[in-house]
Amino acid sequence: MVSRTGSQVVLVALFACASEASFAQQSAIDRVGWLQGCWTSKRGEATVEEQWMAPRGGTMLGMGRTVRGGKTTEYELVLIYVQGGGLAYEAHPSGQSSATFLSVAISDGGIVFENREHDFPQRVGYRRNGADGLQAWIEGEVNGRARRAEFAYQRARCH
């Protein structure tokens, strides 16, 4: 039989462990909080934009679009969320099936997600480039050949 004081100690210990686990998960999403805001990249005649909401509730929501000749040619909705001890990147690109990538490297200035089973890309990455720069990339193999696309973003005003 456990005394009332013993039960209270167990409850306090369980609450402390749960709070610590919640803090660890929350800090994983907070470590990529530098993604929040609006970003733009020019690629020839195309403008690529991304906008990320601040981390809250264990998630970040992002959206992106590519505009060429005054028309949206591609778009993507993305959810980054806490999963296990890391983060998941769930992408919903226009005209394609959704795919989930899991974090393989998280730092205060960069993150890389991977899904080796996905056709292309198998990796998605973001890296801070100073206060107002962001380097993003997708990479992997297509028909046995390495392929990589990079996007150099600058912080933009959100409208």
Cβ density class 137-155: b for 16+ within 10 Å, e for less: bbbbeeeeeeeeeebebee
The position carrying tokens 């949206």 is: 72
Number of domains in the chain: 1
- Give pLDDT, residue 1: 53
pTM for the full predicted model: 0.82
- Give pLDDT, residue 91: 98
Instruction: Give kind and range of the element (H or E) at residue 79.
Output: strand 71-83
- Give pLDDT, residue 102: 98
Average pLDDT over residues 53-66: 97
- pLDDT bracket for residue 48 (50, 70, 90): very high
Q: Flag the least confident range among 3-7, 16-20, 31-35, 120-124.
A: 16-20
Average pLDDT over residues 127-135: 96
Query: pLDDT digit string (tens) for 64-121?
Result: 999 999 999 999 999 999 998 999 999 999 999 999 999 999 998 999 999 999 999 9
CATH of the domain at 58: 2.40.128.20
- The number of CA neighbours under 13 Å toward the Cβ of 99 is 19
Average pLDDT over residues 129-151: 96
Residues in Cβ contact with 56 at an 8 Å cutoff, skipping those fewer than 6 apart: none
- Give pLDDT, residue 21: 43
Residues in Cβ contact with 147 at an 8 Å cutoff, skipping those fewer than 6 apart: 120, 121, 139, 140, 141
Peptide bond into 121 cis (omega under 30): yes
Which tokens in the block code for residue 128? Answer: 């801070």
Which residues constitute the domain of residue 134? 4-156
- Give pLDDT, residue 108: 86
